[in-house]
């Protein structure tokens, strides 16, 4: 029970990587608040987490909206009395080559992936600063490190998340709050299931470990960053990518 008595918020926690993280945290004793655009799916996730014997709550929220992020944090605080861990996981893609990328393709990806992480972090910051402890885990991507044709908006948002991570790690270290990022590589989720076979094969050929990752692979890294075992680690980007980027 590495997270006994801890309270975690996981954005985009109703499926994919976010759900795997929520499950992993709950299995280690954390109460989990699942914030997601899709309230029905979030409710199903929370009901599943409760079966693991922890408190769980579903909150409808669009992380791109400041008020929604504030509502998410206040729900967690009102129900559980503290916030120990925030996982900024909600993310979207609108992949197109630059000349076909519309202004709205750009704006919405930056709003959800980058501003969403800012909004939610700001919403929990006061509580964590007051508690003089906290863990913030941002789900970035390897493409935020190396770029990817067709993903200028997404890669820029994830590179932004890495800059946000390092800046806030410096800002909040004095209050015992760590801020780290995980950069997943190619993980089997809804986000990647619709990719054309040629793109999938191109990714596979670049993975030394020779397989796609699972949401659980990412969740294991998140658990480490949320646990006491990582208390001397901040401002880092951990690639969970089968060796794709090294
Ligand atoms: P997914 O598409 O399966 O799940 C995303 C979740 O976020 C969904 O539950 C969705 O409803 C929610 N969501 C979307 N927009 C939201 C918003 N505005 N506010 C609140 N919730 C919102 O995606 P997946 O694959 O689980 O991705 C999770 C994170 O991991 C994302 O940040 C993604 O960029 C990142 N990632 C995924 C990789 C992959 O290969 N699947 C690789 C690298 C990073």
Q: pLDDT-derived band of residue 199, with 50, 70 and 90 as boundaries?
A: confident
pLDDT value of position 158? 99
pTM of the model: 0.99
CA distance linking residue 148 with residue 19, whole number of Å: 26
How much of the chain exceeds pLDDT 70, in percent? 100
pLDDT surpasses 90 at 80: yes
CA distance linking residue 224 with residue 220, whole number of Å: 6
pLDDT surpasses 90 at 5: yes
Q: Assess whether the C-beta atom of 134 lies below 6 angstroms from ligand 1.
A: no
Which atom of ligand 1 is found nearest the CA of 90?
7
What confidence tens digit (pLDDT) does each residue in 10-64 have? 999 999 999 999 999 999 999 999 999 999 999 999 999 999 999 999 999 999 9
CA distance linking residue 72 with residue 60, whole number of Å: 8
- Whole-number Å distance, alpha carbon 19 to ligand 1 midpoint, is 10
Q: From the candidates 25, 106, 154, 203, which is the catalytic residue?
A: 154
- Whole-number Å distance, alpha carbon 20 to ligand 1 midpoint, is 12
Q: pLDDT-derived band of residue 113, with 50, 70 and 90 as boundaries?
A: very high
- Whole-angstrom Cα Rg for the chain: 17
CB-based contact 62:111 (threshold 8 Å): no
CA distance linking residue 135 with residue 45, whole number of Å: 22
Q: Assess whether the C-beta atom of 89 lies below 6 angstroms from ligand 1.
A: yes
How much of the chain exceeds pLDDT 90, in percent? 96
Phi-psi region of 238 (alpha: psi -120 to 50; beta: other; left: phi over 0): beta
pLDDT surpasses 90 at 196: no
Q: Assess whether the C-beta atom of 151 lies below 6 angstroms from ligand 1.
A: no
pLDDT value of position 104? 98
pLDDT value of position 195? 86
- Neighbour order of strands in the sheet with 56-60: 56-60, 31-36, 7-11, 85-88, 134-139, 177-184, 237-240
What is the pLDDT averaged over residues 157-177? Answer: 99
Upper half-sphere CA count for residue 100 (Cβ side, 13 Å): 7
- Whole-number Å distance, alpha carbon 174 to ligand 1 midpoint, is 31
Helices (H), the chain: 16-27, 39-50, 66-80, 103-109, 116-131, 143-146, 152-172, 190-193, 197-204, 215-226
Q: What is the CATH number of domain 7-238?
A: 3.40.50.720
* Residue 154 bears catalytic tag: yes
Burial 77-106 (b: 16+ CB within 10 A, else e): beebebbbbbbbbbbbbbbeeeeebeeebb
87 token code pair: 């996982």
Cα separations in angstroms, 148 against 145, 158, 177, 196: 9, 11, 32, 15
- Bridge partners of 56, per DSSP, are 32
CB-based contact 33:76 (threshold 8 Å): yes
Q: Assess whether the C-beta atom of 214 lies below 6 angstroms from ligand 1.
A: no
Question: Which residues lie closer than 8 Å to 4 by C-beta, 6 or more apart?
Answer: 28, 29, 30
CA distance linking residue 62 with residue 111, whole number of Å: 10
């Amino acid at each position: 029970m590495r997270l006994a008595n801890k309270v975690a918020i996981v954005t985009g926690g109703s499926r994919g990587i976010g759900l795997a993280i929520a499950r992993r945290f709950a299995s280690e004793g954390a109460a989990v608040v699942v914030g997601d655009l899709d309230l029905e799916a979030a409710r199903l996730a929370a009901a599943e987490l409760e079966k693991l014997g922890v408190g769980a709550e579903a909150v409808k929220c669009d992380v791109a909206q400041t008020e929604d992020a504030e509502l998410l944090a206040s729900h967690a605080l009102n129900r559980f009395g503290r916030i120990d861990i925030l996982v900024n996981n909600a993310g979207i893609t609108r992949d197109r080559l630059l000349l076909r990328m519309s202004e709205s393709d750009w704006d919405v990806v930056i709003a959800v992936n980058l501003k969403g992480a800012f909004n939610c972090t700001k919403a929990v910051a006061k509580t964590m600063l007051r508690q003089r402890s906290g863990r913030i885990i941002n789900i970035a991507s390897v493409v935020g490190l190396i770029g990817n044709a067709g993903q200028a908006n997404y890669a820029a948002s994830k590179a932004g998340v890495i800059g946000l991570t390092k800046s806030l790690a410096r800002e909040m270290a004095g209050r015992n709050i760590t801020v780290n990022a995980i950069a997943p590589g190619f993980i089997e989720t809804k986000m990647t299931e619709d990719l054309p076979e040629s793109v999938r094969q191109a990714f596979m050929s670049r993975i030394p470990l020779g397989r796609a990752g699972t949401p659980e692979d990412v969740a294991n890294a998140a658990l480490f960053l949320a646990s006491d075992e990582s208390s001397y680690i901040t401002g880092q980007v951990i690639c969970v990518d089968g060796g794709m980027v090294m």
